[in-house]
Amino acid sequence: MLEYDSVAALVREAEERGCAISEVVLADQAASLGLAPEKVLEEMGRNLAVMRKSVEAGSVETLKSRSGLSGGDGFRMARYAALGKAGPLSGDFCGRAMARAIAIAECNASMGRIVAAPTAGSCGILPAAILTMEELCGAGERDLVMSLFTAGAIGLVIVREASIAGAEGGCQAECGSAAAMAAAALVELRGGTPAQAGDACAIAIKNQLGLVCDPVAGLVEVPCVKRNAGGVMCAIAAADMALAGMRSVIPVDEVISAMREVGDALPASLRETAQGGLAVTPTGLALKQRIFG
């Protein structure tokens, strides 16, 4: 049985078996649950189905959260990408991925059904990355589901060795972890090696290290929704760097440990309490007053 206490151990196990990380994790989960692998795949496939529906629900032009702080931006970004306007800057893939990330985050803010991957606040990053691989790169249904096992394994390691909670480690623990999971999934979907998946995970976390959690009015909307778009861009960049052969100078498990230490060092005001950062700007405070009176 896998311990899920080290990404390096997952990479090593996959290399020794000559397979992808997802195959190692699927076999382990099937054995742990006493189920046939296909049954476990079917269960994970239900998560993917929810992810698809949350994109649809969050892409409605008239969508508005109860607070009025978010809604409609998923539609705007999707329209922008569909018209090819993202091409000269971020490119078609990134434009569509950002649209999905925003849509899912707005679905969450509007009390829609999402998959916490790994948290509600970072729910748009992983699905946006892999669903755009399906649309533009031809990744099959089974490939997408398998990539979720790789992402899930990375998330389990972070849970055990650091944190995925904004209240404990800041937004680096939420969007940073989600970006790491998405980066590893993207590498696998692009045919990269287990070692490259580990490097992508490390690079993604390093690029989000120190990110604070400062929700305006204490709601998972501002700046959370747009941080999901930034997180998926970070994941894409990390995956491309790893696939290009770039290595993380700091090993992935040391990066995860550093994230835990940084999270522990953050003051309480920057850990989801809405007592610092953007939450206490004049506009942030005015919005809180408007919403709660």
Compute the average pLDDT of residues 238-246: 98
- 23 pLDDT band, cuts 50/70/90, is very high
Give residue 192's pLDDT band: very low, low, confident or very high (50, 70, 90).
very high
In the prediction, which pLDDT does 227 show?
98
Going from N- to C-terminal start, the domains of the chain cover 7-292
Token pair in block for residue 105: 């985050």
Closest C-alpha among 37, 26, 220, 197 to residue 120:
220
pLDDT score recorded for residue 202: 99
Average pLDDT over residues 168-183: 98
Residues with Cβ within 8 Å of 228's Cβ and at least 6 positions away in sequence, in order, are 101, 102, 104, 105, 122, 123, 124, 125, 128, 175, 178
pLDDT digits over 37-74, tens only? 999 999 999 999 999 999 999 999 999 999 999 999 99
Query: Would you mind telling me the total number of residues written for the chain in this entry?
Result: 293
Q: Comparing C-alpha atoms, which of 10, 2, 1, 58 is closest to residue 193?
A: 10
pLDDT, residue 51, reads: 98
Q: Which CATH class is domain 7-292?
A: mainly alpha
Question: Looking at residues 76-92, what average pLDDT do you find?
Answer: 96
- Give CA separation, 4 vs 9, 13, 174, 206, in Å: 8, 11, 18, 20
pLDDT band at 206 (very low <50, low <70, confident <90, very high): very high
Question: How far is residue 26's CA from residue 8's CA, in Å, rounded to a whole number?
Answer: 17
